[in-house]
Chains A and B, each alone.
Chain A
Amino acid sequence: MSGQVIDLKKKPVSGAVLVAGAGIAGMQSALDLADAGFFVYLVEKNISIGGIMAQLDKTFPTNDCSTCMISPKLIEVASNPNIKIISRGSITSLEGEPGDFTVRVTKEPRFIDEDRCTGCGECIKVCPVEVPADFNLGLNQRKAIYRHFPQAVPSAFAIDKLGESPCKNACPAGISVQGYVALIAQGRYAEALRLIRQDNPLPAVCGRVCTHPCEAACARGEVDEPIAIRELKRFVADWEVNSGQMDLPTCKPPRPEKIAIIGAGPAGLAAAYYLALEGFAVTIFEALPKAGGMLRVGIPDYRLPPEVLDYEIEYIQKLGVEIRLNTPVGGNLGLEQLKREGYSAVFLAVGAHKGLRLGVPGEALPGVRSGVEFLRQAALGTAECPGEKVCVIGGGNVAVDAARTALRLGSREVTILYRRTREEMPAYEEEIEEALEEGVRIEYLAAPARFVDQGGRLGGVEIIKMELGEPDASGRRRPVPMPGSEEVLAVDGALSAIGQEPDLDFLEPKSDLEVAPRARVIADPLTRQTSLPWVFSGGDAVTGPASAIEAIAAGKAAAESIRRLIEGQDLAAGRQKERPLAVADKEGVTKQPRQRARRRDPEQRKGDFGEVVQAFDEPAAQAEAARCLACGICSECYQCLGACQAQAINHDLEPSELTLKVGAVVMAPGFKPFEARLKGEYGYGRYPNVLTSLEFERVLSASGPFGGHVQRPGDGTEPKRVAWIQCVGSRDASQGRDYCSYVCCMYASKQAIIAQEHLPGLNATIFYMDIRAQGKGFDRYYERARDEHGVRYVRSMPSRLLEDPATGDLIIQYYDQDNKLVEERFDLVVLSVGLTPSPGARELSQAMGVDTDRFGFAQRSDLNPLLTNREGVFACGVFQAPRDIPDTVMQASGAAAQAGEILAPVRGSEVTVKEFPPERDIAGQETKTGVFICHCGINIGGVVNVPRAVDYAGGLPGVTHAQDFLFTCSTDSQEKMAAVIKEQGLNRVVVASCSPRTHEKLFQDALRRASLNPYLFEMANIRDQCSWVHQGDHDAATDKALDLIRMSVARAGLLEPLRQFPMPVEQTALVIGGGIAGLTAALSLGEQGFTTHLVERAEFLGGLARRIPSTLEGFDVQAHLDRLIDQVTHHGHITVHTSSEVKEIKGLVGNFVATIKRPDKTITLKHGAAIVATGAQEYQPTEYLFGADPRVLTQLSLNQALHQNPAWLEGVHEVVMIQCVGSREPEHSYCSRICCSAAVANAIKIKEARPETEVTILFRDIRTFSLKELYYQKARDLGVRFVRFDAANPPQVNAGPDGLEVMVYDQILGQWLGMVADRLVLSAATRPNDDAHVLASRLKLPLDADGFFMEAHLKLRPVDFTSAGFFMAGTAHGPKFLEEVISQAKAAAARAATVLSKAEMLVGGEVAVVDAERCVACLTCVRTCPYGVPQLNAEGVVYIDPAACQGCGNCASACPRKLIQVQHHKDAQIVAKATAL
């Protein structure tokens, strides 16, 4: 066989593309890709898309509102079924090859289900945690649950969690400590207490006796002192007691199972509480006559008053828990017996009540007693005074408690003997202190050797002194007796308190329960299950003597296990949680000592058992709670769970790992503003009235921290004098940021103008080095700011600024134009911070295997800036290099084209198309309107009387059905709605809920699922524009809602079904112009699989680029061009027509017909889209002797000369260059953008070839923007001289015998300089082609004021014409560099692909229709339409092509005979709605 074509390229596998970063670049790429038939994963690190553009107030040079521009884009991205937004995602790896990549993405949870969240914001109201609002750069506060701005996409809220807060982590019971502390700070005590009780039913007890490991872990302790958490717990617990109202929880419905608990101590009580909540019948068996266990009989009343314990036991009993006192388990009531009696499970919590023996001679003497036993008797009221002089042995709380109790029972002298030092003493520090205050003596390093027998009674204790030796198993140094140190202390009573153990004698002799040495029950540490599966155990019985909170934790855990056991679930599953520990940001926290609880006077208190420690009062509690550093950010107070009626919140979500298959990757991680703190001399962060430019952007914004009121953050006053300092973090080698950030000059000018709009009369000053106004329309904007708005531009860089502490004013020192040091005072200073790669860009680049330069921008290695070193991975936006929004958008579209070139064979393979059932014909039917009214939880229902609205709507004309939904947008409501439409045969639907902007499409889909035309739908916005804005007046809000519903019903009755009709698309492209722009666009289109015709007027391809040997960066332009031409001319999809001209294009997007005059014949060509890439020309100057003297040439000619003839420089000693020849002058007021860099490039070439040649560049502003700035620096380093001149004093040139005599007025020296040049090089302007207007008028395309083609929108549609289907690329659009031409050409190809990729496009719908019968062709509409759509047709009447109409209706309202109606917005429909008053 022959003729077989072997495709060397492997066919791509995946038709999906990953776009990393969802700022304006990522969004644009995603939209272009999705519109061209590819599925897009849009991965964004933040919680919402939109990037920094969403934070901007206005944009230059049009002062367009940024939100207005970006909001529709956000919605477009959100509603595109082929874009999947992955928020909080970060890319961890990229494997594979172009066409077949595997990407791994880690998605951090939002903790809020995006599909369920309705964006109502109820959660915000209850969240107690405030943090600096990152969207507003910390100028105000937001909650831990938040979204950045109301129009944010995804619209769902998110929660910030840094991990588990140390306090919660340290708490054995896992109480959300940070949560209740935050609630207490807000005075929300009931909520705080409820939160505590979720994990601990004994808050009043623990508020007094807890060992508070939380405080030891508290991060505040690293700043000054930990939060007094225990006291705060006590405060809220006591607050409830004092309120007299027990806040009882609701138990689940009773269930049949009975549970037995042995022991009414903290473990048993806790288990009983949580079991009762689950609905179990719980019985506690208690051996003692009182409940409480060690809390009752181990802790003296002066620490834990019995009535406090009684209160909490009563609280538990109120849930139905039965406590049987004096009922020891054993004998007949053994474990097996309980089982036989029908108890499903047993929780064994008998504590450790048996005192350990000292093992010292004389211990059996009367007068020597166990400390625990003594305390028990004291608690039960049966204890007597243990003696006049008493010694207590031990160093724990029992020892100290026994000592203090002895005092209270009448002992006169009490001495504690402890064998180590105070540091090792396990008793609480505060208890030791209190004991000492009360007169207890403590002998450290002392132990009893024997008790002295004095006539059969205790007469004293022989004490042996100890010293500390090597550490023992516990890590503490072991006490070693010192022989010979013995001495006797006379005592008549002794209490031994060296420890306790459980008393398990009650267990049946043949019990199967496994018991460890020292009589401890063995239970699983996680599930608390013992060797008997139905028996659980916890508390001191398992651990030996430990804390109440550990016992409570055990009881709660056992309760959970018992529930699982009974329900047949795995006991352990999902309970072992390991969460990262949150680390608080402690920077800038000012020290503030902790509040101290007051204690009663020692003399007074030691005489009775009244409580020693007093509770905090309310101010102390709130002040103490406010000290919390909010380590975890989210405090896990769970208030949001209760507030969210949509049940969208889940605090337990964990990060997930996604593996995505994609064919290509677009990197658009964007930038972050330079960290202004690094420029310490400007005082940012120290002086409140020094802001960064992004902060000032938020200050200007109506949705910003001050509601658009321009004020000083320091004192809220309106500034009168505002200064901007440029180049902060740009053009600054000391910061490693020696590039120019491109946008700052313009945004500062914009901010100055807008600030003046806010505050008329504001004095605005901008300190700058060069004004870089190189973009389209920029120079005019700058001039307007300077001349019309009076913005003062001072060419000087202040070296520092100082604050006047008395006024907060800022004093700037700078050298003025006369080189004199000046001091000037300002109210507010804005630092124009530069752009640096976003923090995530570095990790992203690493994960992608993409090289970056020393700044972190994508490393460029090709004339095409979109390519990275990794094939199939493309870079765009500021990640590629600093640039503005239009350039970013262009690159983003260009990157989409690059991906499309790889993936053309699998286009459409992964996109989804929604399928709907056929539509029902409603012609001739009586109106049957259904009205669905939304409560939106309480958002509407809490203000508007929804039931009344339903009644009212039901009675409106044409309404046959009215109902309400809690959430109309929820999936189940949508299904119900569709079902009702079908069942009731509804033919119009009105939903009264939120905004059609966000929800209309969703509801329309419900109609379509119910076989109803989606245009038979109407919405009444009774939330955003009613219930939310009239919260205080429920009646008025209800009245208004009724009116809005009536208006919608009125319009609905007149709605008609509309259909969009498919129109086949001619999937062929026409590219006009065969320069580098046209060639690049044509090749991209060809590679994307589209038949493409390239029409070039000249005989050869290549255009102006043929005259450029290489770029500033050193890329070989001619090699690139040759390759490109070769590829284009040999491409199977591309036909080249040279020496040909487009004479006419007729038709509309998708279906154009072009007439092309070729040398041989004139042909017509059908195509769906057209790209205009006709280039520009170099101005041929009339000034400076150009043309008259051969020594005067242009930069383009110089570049060629230097390249082609190495000997050219011989004998050339001095070269002078003059900038802005033909640019920035009254007739041609734009900057030609490329000439500064061209001059620098040529100057470098000269200096490198012949260093002794003097090169002087006469300039107005050096505009080597972005990374080109590095070459400006290089030129200076090479000795190129730069002399600035003013437009008012241009250089003068005379031809002299020895050379060209050039005179220039030096601004800095203030005098004329003269030089004699061998060559004079003019940086001649880039001008539109002479006949650009001819083509423009043939194609009916607009030109701008400078004669370049005009884009649809300066910011967001930089390659589109307003006429659909036409796109532009290259210098026909304006002066630009070759790499920019390439980006834009690719962008034009991508935009064209969004048309050409579809076999057919849907036209019609909401478009204007002319009544052709009655049209008199007055042409008013033709003149009115902003897009030039209405045209006179062959019949002599106006025709509006539905494929091109945008539906704005400007023509309809202008038509004098009212013969134009916009479908779906007919006059009758609008009037019906507007007059249904």
Chain B
Amino acid sequence: MGEKYEPTIVALICTYCTYTAADMAGSMRLQYPPNVRVVKLLCTGKVDVLYLLEIFKAGADAVMVSGCEIGDCHFLEGNLRAKERVAHAKTLLEEAGLGGERLEMFHIGASDAPKWAQAVQGMTRRALELGPNPLARRRPRAAAA
């Protein structure tokens, strides 16, 4: 052990808004912590509580769900559904003792690259504060392989 804790964060984000913003952060060369691993979904309304639990079970230290701004969902209310599910999953995480804070919902519009960078920064900071996911079987980093 003794290896420095680098949190792994999985982000489930929607194509039209947040994914576009995340790409734009790249074009703008905004720098943010390298801990986030993005999974693109057509709509955050597709986010299933089961996905969230599976991801934590697999050892993620934090999970972000990020959809369109409220009212901007390309599928009308998908982001609102996601918001509700995230809220629900948070209570499950609390009950399971992992802590609901490891999960957060964001709403980031397509042109708001800085908000994406800030969200990742904030979540990384939070994951560092919370410490490693107790369920994580620390995989040796690819770097050490």
Contact = CB atoms under 8 A, between A and B. Distances in A.
Contacts of B31: 1029-1032
Interface stretch (A194-202, A484-492, A700-708, A1410-1418): A700-708
B1 interface: no
Contacts of B6: 1036
A859 to B, nearest CB: 37
A1470 B28 contact: no
A847 to B, nearest CB: 35
Contacts of A1093: none
Contact of A702 (B27, B40, B111): B111
A1453 B48 contact: yes
A1447 to B, nearest CB: 6
B122 to A, nearest CB: 15
A72 B16 contact: yes
A1474 B10 contact: yes
A523 interface: no
Contacts, number: 199
A1473 interface: yes
B34 A1024 contact: no
B43 A1473 contact: no
Contacts of A1043: 8, 37, 142
A151 B76 CA distance: 23
A1028 B29 CA distance: 5
Interface in A928-950: none
Interface in B1-30: 6, 8, 10, 12, 15-17, 19-20, 22-30
A1470 B41 contact: yes
B45 A65 contact: no
B103 interface: no
B85 interface: yes
Given A1450-B81, A1467-B48, A68 B20 contact: yes
B71 A63 contact: yes
Interface string A1450-1472: 10111000100010010100110
A1467 B55 CA distance: 12
A682 B64 CA distance: 47
A68 B68 contact: yes
Interface in B97-145: 109-115, 117, 139, 141-143, 145
Contact of B141 (A1023, A1039, A1448): A1039
Contacts of A1031: 29, 31
Contact of B8 (A1042, A1448, A1462, A1477): A1477
Nearest to A62: B71
A62 B72 CA distance: 8
A1029 B76 CA distance: 31
A703 B26 contact: no
B23 A1021 contact: yes
Nearest to B26: A1024
A1277 B24 CA distance: 53
Contacts of B113: 702-703
B114 to A, nearest CB: 5
B46 A1465 contact: yes
A1424 B46 CA distance: 11
Given A1448-B45, A1453-B45, A1470-B51, A1035 B143 contact: yes
B72 A64 contact: yes
B27 A150 contact: yes
A711 B17 CA distance: 25
B20 A997 contact: yes
A1467 B26 contact: no
Contact of A1474 (B22, B54, B143): B54
Interface in A1409-1457: 1424, 1426, 1446-1450, 1452-1454
B42 interface: yes
A649 interface: no
Given A1038-B143, A1453-B46, A708 B51 contact: no
Interface in A791-813: none
Contacts of B59: 1477
A465 B71 CA distance: 93
B57 A701 contact: no
Nearest to A121: B27
Interface in A1390-1414: 1406
Interface in B35-91: 37-43, 45-48, 50-51, 54-55, 57-60, 68-69, 71-72, 74-78, 81, 85
Interface in A898-913: none
Contacts of A1021: 23, 38
B42 A1447 contact: yes
A1453 B39 contact: no
Given A1033-B34, A1039-B141, A1465-B41, A702 B112 contact: yes
A506 interface: no
B45 A708 contact: no
A67 B45 contact: no
A1155 interface: no
B26 A1028 contact: yes
A150 B25 CA distance: 9
Contacts of B25: 1024-1025, 1028-1029
Contacts of B74: 68, 72, 1448
B77 A1426 contact: yes
Given A57-B111, A1467-B50, A1448 B10 contact: no
Contact of B45 (A68, A703, A1032, A1449): A1449
A68 B27 contact: no
A952 B142 contact: yes
A1044 B34 CA distance: 11
A1047 interface: yes
Nearest to B142: A1042
A1032 B33 CA distance: 10
Given A65-B69, A1450-B43, A1477-B60, A703 B24 contact: yes
Interface string A986-1014: 00000000011100000000000000000
A1473 B48 CA distance: 14
A67 B34 contact: no
B75 A702 contact: no
Interface in A56-74: 57, 62-68, 71-72
5 contacts: A67-B109, A997-B20, A1446-B75, A1448-B45, A1453-B45
Interface of A: 57, 62-68, 71-72, 119, 121, 150-151, 701-703, 707-708, 952, 995-997, 1021, 1023-1026, 1028-1033, 1035-1040, 1042-1044, 1046-1047, 1362, 1406, 1424, 1426, 1446-1450, 1452-1454, 1458, 1462, 1465, 1467, 1470-1471, 1473-1477
Interface of B: 6, 8, 10, 12, 15-17, 19-20, 22-32, 34, 37-43, 45-48, 50-51, 54-55, 57-60, 68-69, 71-72, 74-78, 81, 85, 109-115, 117, 139, 141-143, 145
The 10 A-B pairs of least Cβ separation, nearest first, read A1024-B26, A150-B27, A1449-B46, A1475-B58, A67-B111, A1450-B45, A1028-B26, A68-B110, A65-B109, A1426-B76
Given A708-B112, A1028-B29, 17 more contacts: A62-B71, A64-B72, A150-B28, A151-B110, A702-B109, A702-B113, A952-B142, A1025-B26, A1035-B143, A1426-B76, A1448-B75, A1449-B42, A1449-B45, A1450-B43, A1475-B55, A1475-B60, A1477-B8
